[in-house]
Amino acid sequence: MDAPDPQTIRATVQAQRGAMDALFDQLRKDGLDEPGISRDPYGAGEQRAHATVTEAARALGLEIGHDDAANLYMTLPGRDRSAPVLVIGSHLDSVPHGGNFDGAAGVLAGLAVVASLQTLGLTPDRDIVVMGIRAEESVWFQVSYIGSRGSLGTLPGGALDVRRVDTGRTLTDHIAACGGNPEALRAGSRHFDPTHIYAYLELHIEQAPSLVEADLSVGICTGIPGNVRYPDAWIEGRQDHVGLPRQFRHDAAMAGAEFAMAMDALWADHDARDIPMACTFGRFHTDPAAHGLTIVPGAFHFSLDVRAYNESVLAALEDSMGGIIDGIEQRRAVRFHLGSRTSAAPARVDAAITAGLVTAAGRQSISMLQIGSPASHDAAAFGAEGVAIGMLFIRNENGSHNPNETMTTGDFLDGVQIALQWVVSTFL
Ligand SMILES: [Zn+2]
């Protein structure tokens, strides 16, 4: 099949502007939860987003399917239906009171690519599967990549029994309520054999201001960090009277503060050596029911997420952390209880896909910045199973996971142009 020229590709993608604006608007209405939007995973918000996207896919005549984890598959059939497929996808859930674009942009980009192929009258050499992934945001179940790992049969043991932090209901319960089959997942079912995926492409808004600063609309991902997480850690000290001299105290809050400052110093040291990492205490508190103005806190609670792009950096960070904790326990006569630990491996992007996307951007005359992802993405779950992955980041002002995410349709369509150019150069 003859590939269309870059100008035709550009015009075809630009003609999707109205349809894409309408879809983003509908998703915003579906998820409205002032301030911002909430698409709670395996709940009403995510369900409405799935319904909206499904309707758009039906209108395009795509094949609609679901798996045991209730992920959504919208397939444009290719010429060889048994060839390993191209998956273009992202997640349709959001954090509570988040923005409209984190996740959804990647799913809509997939729809824009297949709609453009249809407009051009092109049938790809293999199926293109647009995937609406469930439950990527780990703030709800405190487990990462539930939908994508569910599709690959790689959910960690125990994941189906965790409870959503707001509803208190188990993941099993939530999946069943949304038409999935948690018992099949528990028995190890999977939708995808990773060898049957030729490539996985994800477009996502950037979650740092690098593209805004560089004045560029699109970035290409150089890597996705792995993480080590302790969702429910706490420090055991001893509750005491406010007048107790320092040397007699077992002050859990001061121990927590010292620990956080030591981890931040470790991060600053990595920054100075140009080794990217991040360290976040999302929860950091005494128990307000037990503690108050005149009480030395006997317990201090925190969550910790440490991330880096390299397995050995992550391992070294955990080692250092152990040393820091030992020191604080001795000096302050407290005990750390780190509780459950989860981890996800760093993901490497595929060199051939990256080169293909760079070439495609050149053909579309769109300049791209190379950036490491500061955040975790479903692409990493596919990468962990040996699938070749690539990611494009779209400029986004004001950060993500908040109501003020700002992605322009123009920037979004730049990303779609690159994706479509790559698809027609690779899969015709
Ligand atoms: Zn996201």
- Confidence label for 77 from pLDDT (cuts 50, 70 and 90): very high
Edge to edge, the sheet with strand 63-66 lists 63-66, 72-76, 128-133, 85-91, 197-205, 389-394, 218-221, 368-371
How confident is the model over 139-147, as a mean pLDDT? Answer: 94
SS3 35: coil
- Distance in Å, CA 89 to ligand 1 centroid: 11
334-355 pLDDT, tens digit per residue, is 999 999 998 888 889 999 999 9
- The Å distance, Cα 102 to ligand 1 centre, comes to 5
What span, in angstroms and rounded, lies between the C-alpha atoms of 141 and 177? 16
Q: Is the pLDDT of residue 362 over 80?
A: yes
Q: Which amino acid is at 426?
A: T
Residue 226 has pLDDT above 80, yes or no: yes
Orientation of helix 104-119 relative to helix 409-426, angle to 10°: 60
**Residue range(s) of every CATH 3.40.630.10 domain in the chain:** 6-224+347-426
> Tens digits of per-residue pLDDT, 160-184?
999 999 999 999 999 999 999 999 9
Averaged pLDDT, 185-210: 96
End-to-end CA gap in the chain = 6
**pLDDT score at 1:** 66
Q: How far apart are CA 199 and CA 391, in angstroms?
A: 11
C-alpha distances in Å from residue 25, one per residue of 19, 29, 49, 311, 326: 10, 6, 11, 40, 52
Q: Is the pLDDT of residue 149 over 80?
A: yes
Asked whether the predicted pLDDT for residue 399 surpasses 90, the reply is no
One-letter identity of residue 4: P
Say how many Å lie between the CA of residue 105 and the centre of ligand 1.
9
The residues of the chain that CATH labels 3.30.70.360 are: 226-344
Task: Give distance in angstroms: CA of 73 to centre of ligand 1.
Answer: 18
Distances from the Cα of 164 to the Cαs of 71, 126, 157, 170, in angstroms? 18, 38, 16, 6
CA 92 – ligand 1 centroid, Å: 8
Sequence-distant contacts of 261-266: CB under 8 A, at least 24 apart: 262/324, 262/328, 263/304, 263/306, 263/321, 263/324, 266/317, 266/320, 266/321, 266/324
State in words which class domain 6-224+347-426 has.
Answer: alpha beta
pLDDT tens digits, one per residue of 84-125: 999 999 999 999 999 999 999 999 999 999 999 999 999 999
- Determine the Cα–Cα distance for residues 27 and 45; give it in Å rounded to an integer: 10
Give the H or E element holding residue 277: strand 277-280
Q: Are 221 and 371 in contact (CB under 8 A)?
A: yes
Q: Average pLDDT of 33-37?
A: 96
Q: Could you tell me the distance, in angstroms and rounded to a whole number, from the CA of residue 91 to the centre of ligand 1?
A: 6
d(CA 128, CA 114): 8
Q: Using one digit for the tens of pLDDT, what is the confidence trace for 277-305?
A: 999 999 999 998 888 899 999 999 999 99
Mean pLDDT, to the nearest integer, of 36-55?
Answer: 98
The span from the CA of 268 to the CA of 63, in Å, is 50
Q: Rounded to the nearest whole angstrom, what is the distance from the C-alpha of residue 46 to the centroid of ligand 1?
A: 13
Residue 195's pLDDT is 98
Does residue 32 have a pLDDT over 90? yes
Q: CB–CB of 410/217 below 8 Å?
A: yes
CATH of the domain spanning 226-344: 3.30.70.360
pTM of the shown model? 0.86
Residues bordering ligand 1, an ion, CB closer than 5 Å: 102-103
Mean pLDDT computed over every residue of the chain: 96
Q: Which residues lie across from 230 on neighbouring strands?
A: 304
Percent of the chain with pLDDT over 90: 93
What is the whole-number distance in angstroms between the Cα of residue 107 and the centre of ligand 1? 11
Distance (angstroms) between ligand 1 centre and the Cα of 93 equals: 8
